[in-house]
Amino acid sequence: MRMTQITGLNDYARTFLSTNPNIKKIGSSVIGIGMFEEKIYGDIYEEIVNKYHTLRYEEVIQDRPWSSGPMVFTHLKVTLLQTCNDKRFDMGFYFSWMIDPSVKDSEFDYETGRYYV
């Protein structure tokens, strides 16, 4: 069946977000559009580092390979927010999926964070 397949974050990212008590979900935003014009949402989290700095973790699209429709793999974009002067510093992408041709039994593996579509 043709459809948008939201694969989302791998287990490393989910474990990081769920086991850190200082990280709080603050909302979500539209990060893409599926094959039938449906909205794809990504969650937004924040971690207060100290009274001057906050880390923001945004779920963003990493890749959209095709398999009976787009498969949406996401990872986390991290931004350091400097609250005293409203500056932002890009910290890069974390917990990205890895392309691995040895993933043969299925198209992806949440546990290892590998995919091959």
| pTM listed for this prediction | 0.91
pLDDT per residue of the chain (117 residues) written in tens, 0 to 9: 789 999 999 999 999 999 999 999 999 999 999 999 999 999 999 999 999 999 999 999 999 999 888 999 999 999 999 988 889 999 999 999 999 998 877 899 999 999 998
Amino acid 69: pLDDT = 87
H-type alpha helices, the chain = 11-19
Pair of tokens at residue 97: 């999926």
Tokens 């917990």 belong to which residue? 95
Phi, psi of 66 (to 5 degrees): -105, 130
How high is the pLDDT of residue 47?
97
Q: How buried is 97 (Cβ within 10 angstroms: 0-12 exposed, 13-18 middle, 19+ buried)?
A: buried
Q: What is the pLDDT of residue 67?
A: 86
